[in-house]
Structure 1
Amino acid sequence: MRVLPASPLRVSIHGGHSGQFCGHAEDTLEDIVKAYIAQGYSWVGLTEHMTPDRVEHGYPEEAEAGLGAKDQHTRFTEYIATARQLQEKYASEITLFVGFETEAFEGYQLWLQHLLDTLKPDYIVGSVHHVQDMLIDSTPADYRKAADVFGGMDALYAAYFDRQYGLITTFAPTVIGHFDLIRIFDPDYRKRLVKPDIWSLIQRNLEAIKERGLIMDLNLRALLKGHQEPYISRPILEEARKMGIAVVPGDDSHGVKNVGQFWEEALQVLSDAGFDLTWKSPV
């Protein structure tokens, strides 16, 4: 275990999901911003989930709450406006970046481009939560169902990394969110990730990230869910370091109580992997 350098800046490149604008989060966006300020954060990216083009592409809890696609879009535009107001209001206390997190459902490209053109975020976090319109991070049962549709876990991993590659090469998101989220319900992920056919896809995607100068999100929400390591897992993290790819912590907060969670663990993971704990800003 390496000795940590003194006082690296507190930052989160992926955070700020709030109950105000997300059905599976808690608290108001302003209360979350205040929590970051109270913990001494230097800068934070507010990165709410992008709105779906139709209700079938959204999260189940939104539909259960009776929110149609139009309702969700109205709420999302309100999120951008509110985040801009907070960005200005608290400018003397914290640097806030106003962004959003992508979805990669079938046919997402035109809708994502529309959101980029009309809402003009500071940056986006490129994340994949769907493979062939199946959510892969909702429940173990849905995850197994997706694997069955693809004919096994290896094929599901391949489909995930192919979808991610398309997102990277088409949109070059400033930040790549929870790179290996596909491992979420796989107890054998450590062995599976390094299988030659899967590892070659990972290396391909990392090369695409490197070529475009993108940043990877060390996503700490995995620890909150009981995982032993964040997304990105250690072999991928070490490969990213060898390639000179910037990696920055993201607490992926979904409420005040998540703000700053596992910060020390993030620093230790990155230090042990050989990173210098200086952060590349997304803007």
Structure 2
Amino acid sequence: MAGQMDKRDGHTHTHFCYHGSGDHAELYVQNAIAQGFRTYSITEHPPLPEALTSRIPNGQALIDELAMPMKRLGEYLDMAESLREQYKDSIRLMAGLEVDYIPGMEQWTKGMLDECAGRLEDSLLSVHYLPGKGGWRCVDYTAEDFKEGLVDYYGSAERVYEAYYEAVEQSIDADLGLYKPKRVGHLTLIHKFKDAAAPADPDCCNDAILRILDKVQAKGMELDVNLAGLYQPACREVYPPEWILREAVKRGIPLVYGSDSHNPGHVGRGYDVYEQLMHKLHGERA
């Protein structure tokens, strides 16, 4: 069962993340080793296409905070590979990225992944950006930005959710080449501000979510069980919540714990909750 055989963190960040603590990735790895993790994926936010960054309100200042510049991608991979070698006797480290799926920019993303040929061992595929007021908007930046840039643009929180899950479904179908990630990142990230922005019907997109799970199963992909949402004051639930994880287990979809740590102290955060969920859900299937 997940959580018993291999204590694994499949979603983490580093000092190459400019909205994190700035602490070196080695401190994250050392904390993971101290907690008994046996496998640890380093999955930083990659560069973003100019076609996106040029159409984000407060563009360059925001992008400087959200993504590494292209010129640092090789340096990042060198760093991850160096740590993998340095700590190979203590933990299995895997180099990867948290790849952004951006509708209409699939060829750019494929090209970026091709540049990393053979160097990516474990990556995630996430949706962080949607068309919105004034261009592209980051769906998880601030509650105020979510409401003004997305809810006001689409007309309701439900319509924002619909657009988000449509993009997630497109990401699973998209041809991103040989190095396309095999795991869907924080499936319900769009719920981050659910208690702070405009209210939404919690069941508005259930059919879309089930359709996504069917496609994840058909493609042989995995789901990120992302504990970060549990610690967001306007969310307070795992990304995705228990009912979705139950549906994933029914379909035999592999589930991978992700701390989504943006500072070393968050490595392993909520792992006890993850273990309890896995015992419960797999026990129900026994």
Partner AA of 1:126 in structure 2: L
Which secondary structure state, in structure 1, belongs to the residue aligned with residue 10 of structure 2? strand
Give, as a single letter, the amino acid of the residue that structure 2 aligns with 1:125: L
Where in structure 2 are the equivalents of 1:1-283 lying within 5 Å?
A: 8-15=5-12, 17-18=13-14, 20-26=15-21, 27-54=23-50, 56=53, 63-64=60-61, 67=64, 72-120=69-117, 121-132=120-131, 133-145=136-148, 146-170=150-174, 171=176, 173-187=181-195, 192-195=201-204, 198-226=205-233, 227-274=235-282
Q: Structure 1 residues 57 and 180, CA, compared in 2 at 3 Å: closer, same or farther? A: farther
Per mean C-alpha deviation after superposition, the further-off stretch among 174-183 and 185-194 is: 185-194
Per-residue deviation at 1:190? 10
Q: Residue in 2 aligned with 1:281?
A: none
Question: What is the Cα deviation at residue 194 of structure 1?
Answer: 2.3
Return the offset for 1:271: 2.0
The offset of 1:99, in angstroms, is: 0.6
Unaligned runs of 5+ in 1: 277-283
Deviations 1:255-282 (A, max 9, x none): 1111111111111122222369xxxxxx
Shift of 1:124: 2.0
Q: Retained in 1: the 8 A contact 2:103–2:170?
A: no
The answer to whether the 8 A contact 2:123-2:182 is kept is yes
Provide the C-alpha distance between the structure 1 equivalents of 2:55 and 2:16, rounded to a whole number of angstroms: 13
SS at match of 2:274: helix
- Superposed CA deviations along residues 31-86 of structure 1, whole A, max 9, x for unmatched, are 21121112211101110001112272799999439959997112222111110111
What SS does the aligned partner of 1:21 have? coil
Cα 1:220–1:190 change in 2 (3 A) is farther
For 1:154 and 1:6, how far apart are their aligned partners in 2? 34
Report the Cα distance in structure 1 between the residues aligned to 2:145 and 2:41, rounded to whole angstroms.
30
Mark the CA change 1:89 to 1:272 in structure 2 (over 3 Å): closer, same or farther.
same
Q: Structure 1 pair 33/6, CA: closer, same or farther in 2 (3 Å)?
A: closer
Find the aligned partners of 2:6 and 2:28 in 1 and give their Cα distance.
18
| Count of residues paired in the alignment | 269
CA distance in 2, matches of 1:241, 1:39: 26
- Structure 2 SS opposite 1:268: helix
Structure 2 CA distance for partners of 1:84 and 1:6, relative to 1, 3 Å? closer
Q: Percent identity?
A: 28
Q: 1:66 to 1:162 in 2, by over 3 A?
A: closer
Distance 2:3 2:39 in 1: 18
TM score, norm. by length of structure 1: 0.85
1:119, CA displacement in angstroms?
0.8
Mapped contact 2:259–2:268 kept (Cα < 8 A): yes
AA aligned to 1:194 is: D
Change over 3 Å in CA distance of 1:6–1:23 after alignment to 2: closer
Unaligned runs of 5+ in 2: none
What TM-score results when the alignment is normalised by the length of structure 2?
0.84
Q: How far apart are residue 191 of structure 1 and its match? A: 7.2
Deviation at 1:96, TM superposition (A): 0.9
Larger mean Cα displacement after TM superposition, 262-271 or 92-101: 262-271
Code of the residue aligned with 1:140 in structure 2: it is A
Q: Render the CA deviation track for 1:202-252: whole Å, top value 9, x for unaligned.
A: 111111100011110110111222343211112211111111111111111
Q: In 2, distance between residues paired with 1:135 and 1:11?
A: 28
* 8 Å CA contact retained: 1:14, 1:47: yes
Work out the CA distance in 2 between the residues paired with 1:200 and 1:68: 34
